Amino acid sequence: MRLKFGSRLTLGGAIVAATLGFGAQAYAQSTVKSPTLDAVKKRGQLSCGIDTGIPGYAYQDSTGRWQGLDVAFCRAIAAAVLGDAEKVKFTGLTSKVRFTVLASGEIDVLIRDSELTFARNTQLGLAEPAVNFFTGQTFMVRKSLGVSHVKELNGATICVETGTTLETNIADYNRANNIKIGTLLFERPEEAFAAVEAGRCDGYTDDGGSVAAARSTMKNPNDWVFLPETIGREPLGPYVRQGDEAWFNIVKWTHFAMLEGEVLGLTRDNIDEAKKNPTNPDLRKFLGVEGDLGKFLGLDNDWSYRVIKQVGNYGEVYEATFGSKGLGFPRGMNNLWTNGGLMMPYPWY
């Protein structure tokens, strides 16, 4: 039977697509090589660098267990790679040493409320897989100071964590506005919080999430107010070493798995029921029922299922750490794009 031109074109396109698809899959299966992934599997444990202790991101609860948004990300990677979210060694790092420790190979990934910047990406030889928290540099001051805007802080002293971009932002803001906001530097956020409480500074500055954390530690939180302006963009996220693209992809897609789980309405409680007989194509791919997508990451096909089952989707984790069950910090930019936020996972195909 002679095919019409349009049919021949369609058939040809299908053949090419099928060939490309097969080739891509074969290529992925044969070239997913990651020194970091191999080391993590051999060790049987993920080594994750986190903050030394700051509510919202990474802190130890009354039982000594690590909690927080960044901590959950670490556990999600362990669930994806090792099958168990608890197989993580957490290393608390100061701002000053965090990148050196990662570059030296002492940890596998750094998830420490770290701003993703041009200089860190290009000059430190580090890769930036994803943004897991969007915010901006914010100021908290004593209500009794009577200050309503950042420009009114001329002559004030603000507590700041050293080894961050915060100092640079303040210096640039001072120069742009011809004012002088002084800084008092600290190695650890908890030291800065204590200094603010003791009256050694007029206020505290950091990304919005950290400032909310600082306020939550004050004896009388209502004595402190947030100023309305932010003076810098603070897209925060994980860092890995450059040169290990496969590991970069695992960290990136683990974050997207947490987001995609929320998009699909999957939670820790309902994912088992959803997996019984899914008909939605996106759901089937995500749950590993079809597509064999895990092999493209060097993982099995249940990796994304385990992320949600053992850790939760992004919304669940946010609620428990920064949201209504945590610091009470508005989700804002960290909402899904469908709810006016900036969080949008890449398509699952």
Question: What percentage of residues in the chain have a pLDDT greater than 90?
Answer: 86
Question: What percentage of residues in the chain have a pLDDT greater than 70?
Answer: 91
Q: For residue 114, what are the β-bridge partners?
A: 237
| pLDDT tens sequence across 136-148 | 999 999 999 999 9
Over range 24-37, report the average pLDDT.
Answer: 66
| pLDDT tens sequence across 53-87 | 999 999 999 999 999 999 999 999 999 999 999 99
Do 139 and 214 contact (CB within 8 A), yes or no? no
Domain 35-133+235-339 matches domain 135-233 at the CATH topology level: yes
Q: Where are the beta strands (DSSP E) in 201-294?
A: 203-207, 224-226, 233-241
pLDDT at 10: 39
CATH numeric code, 135-233: 3.40.190.10
| pLDDT tens sequence across 99-138 | 999 999 999 999 999 999 999 999 999 999 999 999 999 9
Which has the minimum average pLDDT: 21-35, 294-308, 316-330?
21-35
Report d(CA 278, CA 304) in Å as an integer: 15
Over range 45-50, report the average pLDDT.
Answer: 98
pLDDT at 3: 37
3 state DSSP class of 187: coil
pLDDT at 14: 41
pLDDT at 163: 84
Q: Is the pLDDT of residue 348 over 50?
A: yes
Q: Where are the domains of the chain?
A: 1-31, 35-133+235-339, 135-233
Q: State the chain's mean pLDDT as an integer.
A: 90
pLDDT at 157: 97
| pLDDT tens sequence across 199-230 | 999 999 999 999 999 999 999 999 999 999 99
Neighbours of 244 (CB within 10 A): 19
* Span 35-133+235-339 CATH architecture: 3-Layer(aba) Sandwich (3.40)
Q: Is the pLDDT of residue 15 over 80?
A: no
pLDDT at 11: 36
Residue 14 is classified by DSSP as H
| pLDDT tens sequence across 266-288 | 999 999 999 999 999 999 999 99
Looking up tokens 């910090």 gives 329
